[in-house]
Amino acid sequence: MATTAVANPDAELTQAELAARYGLSVAGERPGLVTYIKQLWSYRHFISAYANAKLAASFSTARLGRVWQVLTPLTNAAVYYLIFGVVLNTSGEIDNFIAYLCTGLFVFTFTQSVVSGGVQAITGNLGLIRALHFPRAALPIAITLTQFQQLLASIVVLAGIVLVDGEPLTLEWLLLVPAMLLQSVFNAGVAMAMARLGSKVTDLKQVVPFVMRTWMYGSGVLYSVANFEKHLPGTVAWLVQLNPLLVYIELMRHALMETAPVTASQTQSWLLGIGWALVAGVLGFIYFWRGEKEYGRG
């Protein structure tokens, strides 16, 4: 009795068609942008837990523990006040110089710490990346969240400094919240961009401290921003006003101080702050996402 051969419906399909038919995909393939965002949202609890663990670990070996969250910004403020306020006597140009200095210093330190951590977000976590599957953007975002928690502790210290220095408590202090959130979005975008660059150029972490130091001196952290108009050509002074760190520092000074010298109106500062957050946040995220399948390989 003759047997009838059963036709294989997949026999004439290409590998790509077979993969599409059975829902297969390339291992390590980069997901679409919308899918990636959804994946990242589904890992929000991991990001939060990882950020909290990083913060706790950073003080785990210190005898005073998290007290250093308060002592570190206070110590930095004291050192810079001694140098710039007393030795170089820049305090004479600004009313309530201590409040002015500390506001600039704490805001700058937030971005500095995120950038420095972001550049090593991939290279410093290769073991985790190779062992577990998760959206890699979780790492620079967790670094931003860790430093945001540090900023909150600094803001508590800053509020006390500002009040002791003679500034009144006003409703404008509420503007601290949106200002910090805008800076956080900006920082996260920069951290993601630096994370991808740092994974490609490992020596970048050696360059970042010099870049950040230069950025600090160009952001009016330690002296009156009126010096920009006094000593720089008009076009250069205008370009300095667009400096995102200067923008976020001035938003905080607008909120906390009544007479602080600034380079732009409050409206202009808010528009620039929103613009920089959108540009850095969106472009930094897309740039990082495009390199998703590269991280942890090689």
- What is the residue extent of each domain of the chain? 33-294
The pTM of this model reads 0.85
Q: Which residue do the tokens 């472009």 mark? A: 283
Q: Tell me the pLDDT of the chain (298 aa) as tens digits.
A: 555 555 566 666 666 665 566 555 555 577 889 999 999 999 999 999 999 988 888 776 766 666 777 777 778 778 877 877 677 666 666 778 888 888 998 999 999 999 999 999 999 998 889 888 899 999 999 999 999 998 998 898 889 888 988 888 999 999 999 999 999 999 999 999 999 999 988 889 899 999 999 999 888 887 777 777 777 777 887 888 889 999 999 999 999 988 887 888 889 999 999 999 999 999 999 999 999 888 877 5
Q: Which of 261, 251, 204 is nearest to 229 (CA)?
A: 261
Tokens found for residue 71: 């002592």
CA distance 168 to 278: 32
